[in-house]
């Protein structure tokens, strides 16, 4: 059996299409458009070879007619070609929508005012993460355009795609969307820095109040805490123990306030 026949026969089931398509994909991982193009061209060549073969063969006094088998193979090959192009169309549209959605949603997320320190910390980390992967995002622009150029190419006879108005507008506005994304990141950073200054001022005031409480508690202890126990003064001694318990609880409250402030102090 020729390699052309084996290739086309391998597409007769849905599972066979998926297996063969996965093998073809792995050949051109670095260039997704070339990957699809090469697979389509290779399949077209195989179908051309099958189409040009004589559908009848004679062996001695026996004549075998292959016309029906030939047509079946051509139909299978055409079906697989449609399968490949459908995948490319789906990939192109998903890539376009997902990139635009990701840029818009990222800016919207980062522009939300941080009313809590936890949110401020999260926004600062998220902003830096997005800045670090900008090149990866920008690198997705060219493959998207290449995919759409291929599926809308009039010279491509494999299911040329008509784009919707929404898809045309999104494709045409990719550069504009990228520029909006860049400006949105700049605006988001200004919001984050403003929130940072606001929370820092609030934290500084909280620290000042905390220091005052600590000093007041220390001063009160020195002035009012019982430092001696006298025999025969059980009532007074019990009051002294209660007073010490009050100071102990006040210290525990101050300690808890300190623990509560630690996450904020890490940000600043």
Domain CATH code at residue 129: 1.20.58
d(CA 258, CA 210) in angstroms, rounded, equals 8
In a domain, 148, yes or no: yes
Residue 167 lies in a domain: yes
User: Does the pTM of the predicted model rise above 0.75?
Assistant: no
Residue 59 has pLDDT above 70, yes or no: no
Q: How many domains does the chain contain in total?
A: 1
Q: What percent of the chain has pLDDT over 90?
A: 31
* CA distances for 144 relative to 76, 161, 166, 265, angstroms: 29, 15, 15, 44
Answer whether residue 138 is part of any domain.
yes
User: What pLDDT, on a 0 to 100 scale, did the predictor assign at position 110?
Assistant: 95
Q: What is the pLDDT of residues 184-207, one digit of tens each?
A: 999 999 999 999 999 999 888 988
Q: Kindly indicate the confidence band of residue 39, based on its pLDDT and cuts at 50, 70 and 90.
A: low
Phi and psi for 248 in degrees, rounded to 5?
-60, -45
Residue 129 lies in a domain: yes
The pLDDT-based confidence of 138 (bands split at 50, 70, 90) is: very high
C-alpha pair distances (Å), 26 with each of 36, 59, 91: 11, 42, 16
Q: What is residue 20's predicted lDDT score, i.e. its pLDDT?
A: 62
CA angle 214–219–223, rounded 5-degree value: 150
**What value does the mean pLDDT take over residues 9-37?**
62
Q: What is the mean pLDDT of residues 77-97?
A: 83
pLDDT range class, residue 63, cuts 50, 70, 90:
very low
Q: Would you say residue 10 has pLDDT above 50?
A: yes
- Find the range with the poorest average confidence among 39-43, 178-182, 245-249: 39-43
- For the cut 80, the answer to whether the pLDDT of residue 145 exceeds it is yes
Q: What distances in angstroms separate CA 124 from CA 179, 190, 262, one per listed residue?
A: 21, 11, 17
Most distant CA pair in the chain, distance = 135
Residue 241 lies inside a defined structural domain of this protein: no
Alpha-carbon distance of 209 to 215, in angstroms, equals: 10
- Predicted confidence (pLDDT) per residue in 226-245, tens digit: 777 666 566 677 777 888 88
The pLDDT score that the predictor gives to residue 91 is: 86
Which positions ≥6 away from 64 have C-beta within 8 Å? 56, 57, 58
105 domain-assigned: yes
Q: Higher-confidence residue: 38 or 216?
A: 216
- When the pLDDT of each residue in the chain is averaged and rounded to a whole number, the result is 79
Q: Is 33 among the domain residues? A: yes
| Tokens linked to 85 | 């192009």
Residue 115 domain boundaries: 3-54+64-196
Domain presence at residue 248: no
């Amino acid at each position: 059996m020729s390699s052309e026949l084996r290739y086309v026969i391998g597409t007769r089931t849905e599972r066979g299409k998926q297996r063969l398509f996965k093998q073809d994909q792995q050949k051109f991982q670095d260039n997704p458009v070339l990957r699809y193009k090469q697979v389509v061209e290779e399949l077209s060549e195989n179908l051309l070879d099958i189409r040009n073969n004589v559908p009848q063969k004679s062996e001695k006094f026996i004549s075998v007619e292959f016309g029906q088998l030939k047509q079946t193979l051509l139909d299978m090959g055409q079906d697989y070609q449609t399968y490949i192009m459908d995948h490319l169309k789906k990939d192109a549209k998903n890539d376009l929508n997902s990139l635009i959605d990701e840029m818009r949603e990222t800016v919207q997320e980062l522009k939300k005012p941080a009313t809590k320190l936890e949110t401020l910390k999260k926004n600062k980390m998220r902003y830096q993460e997005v800045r670090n992967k900008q090149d990866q995002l920008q690198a997705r622009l060219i493959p998207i355009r290449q995919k759409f150029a291929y599926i809308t190419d009039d010279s491509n006879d494999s299911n040329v795609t008509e784009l919707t108005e929404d898809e045309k507008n999104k494709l045409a506005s990719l550069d504009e969307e990228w520029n909006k994304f860049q400006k949105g990141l700049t605006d988001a950073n200004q919001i984050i820095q403003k929130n940072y200054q606001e929370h820092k001022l609030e934290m500084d005031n909280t620290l000042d109040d905390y220091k005052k409480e600590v000093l007041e508690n220390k001063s009160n202890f020195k002035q009012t805490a019982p430092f001696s126990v006298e025999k025969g003064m059980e009532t007074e001694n019990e009051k002294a123990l209660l007073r010490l318990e009050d100071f102990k609880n006040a210290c525990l409250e101050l300690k808890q306030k300190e623990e509560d402030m630690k996450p904020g102090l890490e940000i600043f």
